[in-house]
Amino acid sequence: MPVSKSIPVFAGAVLLIGAVTYGAASSGSKSSDDWIAQAADSASVQLAATAEAIDSTGLFPRSLMTDYSLEQLVDQLEAPHTDFKVELLPHPGLDEFRTLRLCDVADWTSGFFPGSLWLAYELTGDTTLRTQAERYTNRMLPASYMTDTHDLGFMVNCSYGNALRLAPADSIRTVLVRTADNLASRFDPAIGCIRSWDFGEWNFPVIIDNMMNLQLLFNAAKITGDKRYSDIAVTHARTTLAHHFRPDHTCYHVVSYAPDGSVESAGTFQGKNDASAWARGQGWALYGFTETYRESQVKEFLDKAVAVADMIMGRIKTEDKIPYWDLDAPAESQTPRDASAAAVIASGMIELGYILHNEKYTDFAEAILRSLASPAYMAPTGTNCGFVLMHSVGSLPHGSEIDTPLNYADYYFLEALNRLARVKKGLAPVEDFLA
């Protein structure tokens, strides 16, 4: 969730990204897979236009402003509004309805747009996209000095991490290591986790999303040779594995720990209720434990990724395989789908299928991506305020970003397309460029 933060100002601080392209992918494909190239081309047009349109603002595209009613939320949460944990007020009017919502570098989603530009460049080889990716990634430099958020992996690894793959430079490595140091500073050895949030009434909250930030630590370990980073990542994953999951392999969104490391509460902040399976949270779990297994080779992480993947495949009942915003939401025609959860699930399943040599996961992911690439979810070029996908959900219980495009939906969609294209060429979905 976005939290207002102050950030340091660096006069004249500009990080120049290296000029050598690293392994840009060709957009060519077999005829049966032309849809991948077509989706990549359409996404590239959207992203390039957005980059030019907002360049002078110094900001990043996040979503569109959307309206809602309390009746809609009551229906989806299946609870009276008096039971809601926060005050929910509909937008006062429609003046801002479907208009662009921008964010600054301190927002947890800021790194996804630069990352999407890099991924689109990788898919198409369009050097214009690379130039824009460099420009927007340079704007992320202040995030590498932040210490008050766990979202540094999202912010910096999605921007500078992709830059290091596709335009390697020592200056980028410096940024990644500094950011990893700041993320590691939030680790509490007594609890065995990285603290997620600095707000709320929790003592030490850890959200399942935090699994997505561990790759930054693994990358820092490879860059420096210092095992301390990977040890923190593995310890965090082990603690999460022990306390975030229910017997049916669904996960809680938020687990808070007492100072001695015992669990003081387990519930949700963005899901339907404390016992529900918030869709994107299940995606974070699948993706995060698959990724952590790849880096650590700890089998229990792979076992959990498989169990979560099988649970997701059994719980998604929609014909197009795009989940409702919560897997326990009422299955109604008006229930919002979450394209962002679908994209995260697809990207994680492609890697899981590759690791296991099991096509059922890859096939499920491809079915998701074909749905996302269809007119039902992928916006025609020149529409959707420049976003690639439609129909995602940010935080329905807070009346925030309901049935809207989201920058992280676009990011994981493009990442999944890249991974699928690589697998179809007989390559690993994730290039271990730092090994």
Q: Nearest-CA neighbor of 304 among 238, 249, 234, 236?
A: 249
Q: Please confirm, yes or no, whether 107 is among the known catalytic residues.
A: no
Would you say 388 and 47 are in contact if contact means Cβ atoms under 8 Å apart? Answer: yes
Residue 92: is its pLDDT beyond 70? no
What type of residue is 130?
R
Q: Which of 126, 209, 403, 410 is an active site residue? A: 209
Which pLDDT value is given to residue 67?
A: 78
pLDDT band at 86 (very low <50, low <70, confident <90, very high): low
Residue 90 has pLDDT above 70, yes or no: no
Is pLDDT of 182 > 90?
yes
Residue 432: pLDDT band (50, 70, 90) is confident
Q: Does position 10 have pLDDT exceeding 50, yes or no?
A: no
Concatenating the DSSP letter of every residue in 228-282 gives HHHHHHHHHHHHHHHHSB-TTS-B-SEEEE-TTS-EEEEE-SSSSSTTS-BHHHH
Q: Across all residues in the chain, what is the average pLDDT?
A: 90
User: What pLDDT score was predicted for residue 80?
Assistant: 83
Q: Using CA atoms, how far apart are residues 176 and 146, in angstroms rounded to an integer?
A: 12
Q: What are the structural domains, with CATH classification, of the chain?
A: 31-424 (1.50.10.10)
Catalytic one among 107, 126, 151, 410? Answer: 151
Tokens of 151: 């979202």
> What is the token pair recorded at 63?
């979503």
In which band, very low, low, confident or very high, does the pLDDT at 3 lie, cut at 50, 70 and 90? very low
Backbone angles phi, psi at 205, to 5 degrees: -80, 140
Residue 338 a catalytic site member: no
Enter the pTM of the model.
0.92
pLDDT at 81 over 80: no
Is residue 160 within 8 Å of residue 175, measured between CB atoms? yes
**CA-to-CA separations, 87 to 3, 33, 84, 101, in angstroms, rounded:** 17, 47, 7, 22
Please write the tens of the pLDDT for every residue from 102-150. Answer: 999 999 999 999 999 999 999 999 999 999 999 999 999 999 999 999 9
pLDDT digits (tens, 9 = 90+) for 357-367: 999 999 999 99
Residue 95 has what pLDDT?
56
In the prediction, which pLDDT does 97 show? 61
Q: What mean pLDDT do residues 62-70 have? A: 86
